[in-house]
Structure 1
């Protein structure tokens, strides 16, 4: 993926998972497109070489022609963009870390509590080719903590349901082998048997990709974001969700269950343990809940 695809994914994330208004997303899109167009070609091709001075240089040029409010919005857009890229390991460093923060900077990754996750899964229809596909998508994302790019790039032969494993090609073409929960095995097997063959024959050219559209073509990242948003609304969930939400829910529930961070790092495919350590918020939250429940001066917390 290049910077243009990263921008598309960031905008999908804003729309689906943060509740950003349409006007905000449109403004951020303009600001970030202008920023990327202003970069030298060498930095567009190698964004890992970006430094804070490159960002400040762009903002300095904006100050010469734009109002202060527009410059501050552009600063927030750039800051949020690079927080997202660094948090999702697209970049090893965050070149915007010295810029004034935005809401995305300090927020923990969004995730669903166990009750909300059960509500989502229970709401998924179980009949019809598209319903079976959708159920398989949600269960696989949650069961394995996949990135959206890993999901849409997955071929059928990556699955070994007999061994209850799936081969995942992650960032930097690094492969990892993940276990699949029994509940997900059932949903995926039903999709492969009763849904995918019907979808596959609707296209003039057969695809090896695991998940197909109603026309038999491979699903793309944008469709996954839209689909999850639709399913969340139908489930009556107040939270906005996207593929990142299910990935973070997977990791959060593992840590809640006592999994060690090294194991979670391996399952998520994080290159650095520092990226995985953000899930230690679960332990801090649990301590607060225990304190609130059992300490004489505590207050009873609501269930997540």
Structure 2
């Protein structure tokens, strides 16, 4: 069974060009699925799997407390996998037919206020090279709405400070060009001239990565996560921040100030505008809060 999963993952990498994070998610989903089939149902080949077996697996996942969003992802992963097996003639039927994805509860993204973003951007210690780097990262994230994985994959040549834009490679290896403002340009320029040369390792003097850790290597997601938590605490932000919070805040603040939804979609790199539309719900929710707080008849 594991061999078929590896063949499918190879197909996703070569044919679909999916990101490492997406491939890792497929691997986890399908490994757990295959383990259930083998250990719980005593099945040894995917051709033995029926719709009933898959429903039993989803029932177990639900009993284990998996959210509707996670279950919907499992359905998508397993459906794509069985379609692949059928096309490759590993199986002679698709047991996922007529299995519906669960209704996903739409959770509004948590966003920072403009004042909270300002406090976070001022939190790094600019007398230290790490503080200069951290401010450049935060300014660039808030200026562009990039995913953290996209930010950390940037190379020095991807940032064009004179022209005022950054070149970003998003999901599915899709390239997009995002404009950046004066604050981000200044912060990145300061980092490249004053801090990055000090962070570069003597063993890797020609490294292309834009944001470096103390060893001169490309900064990791875990490294960024630690930095963000420390700076949020220093800024006095009590909200539960995630690396996506600045991305959510970027989109919400743009729409609140009258930005076109299509333009925001393009900057975020969303394939479907319905994904971007969630931020319009956020702005409406905030409008209601303002109304309740300030209208004398509310």
- Normalising by structure 2, what TM-score? 0.71
Q: Flag the structure with larger Rg.
A: 2
Q: Tell me which residue corresponds to 1:92.
A: none
Give distance in 1, aligned partners of 2:144 and 2:263.
13
How many Å apart are 1:213 and its aligned residue? 0.6
Task: Give unmatched runs, 5+ long, in structure 2.
Answer: 1-16, 39-48, 78-97
1:203–1:215 contact (8 Å) kept in structure 2: no
Given the alignment of the two structures, is residue 230 of structure 1 paired with residue 230 of structure 2, yes or no?
Answer: yes
Q: Tell me the number of residue pairs that the alignment of Structure 1 and Structure 2 aligns.
A: 251
- Residue of structure 2 aligned with 1:99, choices 89, 97, 102: 102
Structure 1 residues 202 and 275: CA distance shift in structure 2, 3 A:
same
Question: Could you say what secondary structure the match of 2:142 adopts?
Answer: helix
How many Å apart are 1:114 and its aligned residue? 1.1
Question: Could you say what secondary structure the match of 2:167 adopts?
Answer: strand
Structure 1 residues 182 and 78: CA distance shift in structure 2, 3 A:
closer
Alignment of 1:234-273 (within 5 A): 234-273=234-273
Alignment of 1:1-304 (within 5 A): 5-6=21-22, 34-35=32-33, 57-58=53-54, 60-61=56-57, 71-76=62-67, 79=70, 82=73, 98-99=101-102, 105-204=105-204, 206-289=206-289, 291-292=291-292, 295-298=295-298
- Normalising by structure 1, what TM-score? 0.70
Structure 1 residues 217 and 81: CA distance shift in structure 2, 3 A:
farther
2:108–2:282 contact (8 Å) kept in structure 1: no
Question: Could you say what secondary structure the match of 2:168 adopts?
Answer: strand
Structure 1 residues 31 and 179: CA distance shift in structure 2, 3 A:
closer
How many Å apart are 1:9 and its aligned residue? 8.2
